[in-house]
Structure 1
Amino acid sequence: MIPNLDWLDDAACAGMDSRAFFANGCHARAQVHAAQQVCGTCPVQAECRNWAIQTGERHGVWGGMSQQELRRTRRRFTDRSKSTTREAA
């Protein structure tokens, strides 16, 4: 099944160079902050964040969240699903 990515058309970053969202080097922190500023104006920020969490995106800023924030959120999301599955069994 092909995921519905129609929300991408409405993203604040549509048409931007995607490298702006994948920080590296000595200015990485500033790059992450700049990317998060763009995300802060985005009407589809929640859809982007959810997509990154659900697909396991490991790199870049998605939905205003840094790589570290995505990892922490994904861990909480995964831990919560495991406990719900165990309770249902």
Structure 2
Amino acid sequence: MIRNLDWLQQAACAGLDHRAFFATSRHARAQVNAARRVCAACPVREQCATWAIQTGERWGVWGGMSQQELRRRRRRFTSRAKTSTRAAA
């Protein structure tokens, strides 16, 4: 699990209003797409996505992924973790 959060300082979204990454209006798709554009050029995109998956973040755009994409990736991550645990036992 990612414990060191130094990568946050290098994020393209550092200093931006965090609300831009949490779609709340009837224009949610446009908000998500705008957030993804910020993430597209981010040097720590993968660390962000990994952190969101490992910590169970459920809301917002993380690592350029929508909430639905995060859930799908989390299910794959959780499924692999369970398989690894069973194999080790």
Give the TM-score normalised by structure 1: 0.94
Aligned residue in 2 for 1:13: 13
Give unmatched runs, 5+ long, in structure 2: none
Task: Look up the equivalent residue of 1:52 and give its one-letter code.
Answer: A
Displacement of 1:4: 1.2
Q: 1:4-37 CA distances to partner (integer Å, 9 max, x unpaired)?
A: 1111111000110000000012100110010000
Q: 1:31-56 CA distances to partner (integer Å, 9 max, x unpaired)?
A: 00100000001000011011101111
Q: When the two structures are aligned, how many residues end up with a matched partner?
A: 87
Counterpart check, 1:28 vs 2:40: no
Aligned residue in 1 for 2:77: 77
Task: Look up the equivalent residue of 2:14 and give its one-letter code.
Answer: A
Please, what is the CA RMSD of the aligned residues? 0.7
Displacement of 1:88: 1.8
Counterpart check, 1:47 vs 2:47: yes
SS at match of 2:26: helix
Structure 1 vs Structure 2: percent identity of aligned residues?
Answer: 71
The 4+ residue runs of structure 1 with deviation greater than 3 A are none
Give unmatched runs, 5+ long, in structure 1: none
Give the TM-score normalised by structure 2: 0.94
Q: Partners of 2:8 and 2:25 in 1: how far apart? A: 27
